[in-house]
Structure 1
Amino acid sequence: MTTTPQTRPTISRTHSWVSPTVPADVAELSGLEFLERLVDGRIAPPPITGTLGFRLTHVERGVAVFVGETGEHLYNPLGSVHGGYLATLLDSALGCAVMTELPPGKAYTTAQLGVNLVRPVFADTGPLRCEARTLHVGRTIATAEAQVVGEGDGKLYAHATTTCAVFPMR
């Protein structure tokens, strides 16, 4: 028997977000100070975290930790969580780990992202923990590595490395 989209129930998901704004004193904050304000709620989270269902939960110098929820809304056509969700989760954690080591007046952008997906993620996999650590942060280039592990089962689902360009903030 073939099912069609018309014979399956429709499920909806909505979310709200605060319009993103850059704090006036951002150039005076170190990357770590900025991210600490994000974690403790003094700076609103970026809209993508609500859209995809993940959040920054911990930062310290050289480390950033995100927790992401799984669900059917993240499925690809074959019935597992899309690899792009994991890549975005990894990229977010990697960039934030780099940011924790930047002084005031410096910014970064991802220049290269290498992702390895090692097992499928499903709606019932449960929360995923993504921890990133810097390897090198220089004047113009930074590198970091990260892992995505199931909070409930401790299994490795993906890992990645990044190279970020570091530059003066506008």
Structure 2
Amino acid sequence: MSPDPIALDPADGQPAIRYGVLPLHEVASVSGLDFLRGMIAGIYPAPPIAEISGMRLGRADEGEVEFEGAPTHAFMNPLGTIHGGWTSIMLDTVMACAVHTMLKAGQGYTTAEFKVHFVRPVFPSSAPVRAVGSVIHAGGRLATSEGKLYDARGRLLAHGTETCFVFDVPKAAAAA
């Protein structure tokens, strides 16, 4: 894919976020770290779930990522707090993307399991929240990571751990 010219958001001068899904072979054509940094730079689109859930990738380094998010009223439960599913989306995203930074070109991954510990309720006023994911161990086929979600005041809202299955992208996908 030849990247489109990068449009800047007039409000903050940062790359405007495009949303979309690329074919697996395109995503796997570069290292995981290069792909995520390309997403930050606006070269690659962010996935649609980022738009729906109100999250944005802010930093990607080897073994660590950081996202910012702001849940919308669509994620509120009857008690007026943000549904735990939104918190789980944020944590699954940062834990999985931390693993993504460790992938070589030609590799993919999927979440095998994750666990979330809810520490405090998330309110709409908790935003913007910050989520940080870090790799604990990156093996040949399994990688483990941890994630933490903080409110705008820096208080821990939730934390979790995750195991991802790392796989080679099938040659058929690369040729498609």
Q: TM-score, normalised by structure 2?
A: 0.82
Distance 1:17 1:27, change over 3 A: closer
In structure 1, the partner of 2:89 is 88
What is the RMSD of the two structures over their aligned residues, measured on CA atoms? 1.7
CA positional deviation for 1:71? 3.4
Letter of the structure 1 residue corresponding to residue 104 of structure 2: P
Distance 1:18 1:98, change over 3 A: closer
Q: Max radius of gyration: which structure?
A: 1
| Contact preservation (8 Å) 1:68, 1:127 | yes
CA positional deviation for 1:103? 0.8
Measured against aligned partners, the alpha-carbon deviations of 1:81-133 in whole angstroms (never above 9, x if no partner) come to 00000000000111110010111111110001000111101111221100000
Distance 1:154 1:51, change over 3 A: same
Moved over 6 A (4+): none
CA distance in 1, matches of 2:75, 2:41: 27
Q: TM-score, normalised by structure 1?
A: 0.85
List runs of 5+ in structure 1 lacking aligned partners. Answer: 1-15
CA distance in 1, matches of 2:28, 2:122: 39
Query: What is the number of residues matched between the two proteins?
Result: 154
Distance 1:113 1:64, change over 3 A: same
CA distance in 1, matches of 2:19, 2:27: 18
CA positional deviation for 1:17? 6.2
CA positional deviation for 1:47? 0.5
